[in-house]
Amino acid sequence: MNLTIYHNPSCSKSREALNHLIDKGYQTNVVLYLKNTLNKKQLQKILVQIDMNAIQLIRKNEDDWKSIKDRNEFSENEILELLVAYPKLIERPIITNKNSGVLGRPLEKLINFLKKNKP
């Protein structure tokens, strides 16, 4: 199974997920999403794969999020635009395969995803 991990090397949970994938021998495409920012269409595809909406992908404890007035009134489209503009607000790690994916936090979610999606 070929996997993609949307990875932030500064994040311990993201490093933990990547190390798990490597240790288990999965072919893994690493996307450093803070350097290679995602566009709106890419984010929409990822959200479908992980069966989440944009607000669920927000890191709500980030100062950038807390500083936004009226943030709880944003539409899905406005939140997507915000995630494109401020990629550090994206929760991580996200792991996808061709058709599905998971927000791999905690690691058990990734482990369960891998069990369900064995090649």
HEC-encoded secondary structure of 15-33: HHHHHHHHHCCCEEEEEEC
- Sheet containing 27-32: give its strands across: 27-32, 2-7, 94-96, 101-103
Catalytic residue among 11, 18, 38, 103: 11
* Active site (annotated) includes residue 11: yes
Q: How many residues does the chain have?
A: 119
Active site residues: 11
